[in-house]
Amino acid sequence: MTVLRYVVLGIAAAAVLGALALQMMLRWYRSRTGFGGDRRSGARIVGSDTGVAAPVLLRDPRLGLRGRPDYLLALEIQGRPALVPLELKPGRRSRRIYESDALQVAAYLVALRATAPDAAAPFGYLRYASGTYRVTLTAALAERVAAIVGAIRAGREAPEVHRSHAIRGRCTACAVRRHCDEALG
């Protein structure tokens, strides 16, 4: 009976320590990303690829596009409920949006529009360590996403694909650099 009591106490202590560790990790995550679900904004997390909520897969079957934003928020826009993707880039400190990040959010917006046309917001958010930016899905941006998806598909079928940039740092960090005969430097 005494041994059983110690086992139960040990399990209870482990559960308490686990809950404390989880709370500390969540606090660290919120301080690092600046996001913890701001209740004052009226936003509610309905999906997350970070483990905070169940992930939501967005799909556009016409383009063959699919993805999971870091957060899918439900909020009210002009009196109507809307879904808004939020992508986190906590390591970025920039005063401007990187084109690749804007295209990623735009791709989520295109897929969201196909997945939930009545609830899709016309914009999404991009959160850097230096601030939060709004990305609005314009017709030109949607066309750019479709063109990039088409180029990627064509590249997968092509017998040879050439380097698409002149950025030395990008080549240095590339995973296939040692196999590339167009590497810079």
**pLDDT tens for residues 106-118?**
999 999 999 999 9
**pLDDT tens for residues 128-185?**
999 999 999 999 999 999 999 998 888 888 888 787 778 888 888 888 788 788 888 6
- CA distance linking residue 28 with residue 127, whole number of Å: 17
> Residue 33: pLDDT band by 50, 70, 90 thresholds?
very low
In the three-class reduction of DSSP (H, G, I as helix; E, B as strand; rest coil), residue 68 is classed as coil
What local confidence, expressed as pLDDT, does residue 165 receive?
78
**pLDDT tens for residues 118-135?**
999 999 999 999 999 999
- Angle, alpha carbons 55-57-60 (nearest 5°): 165
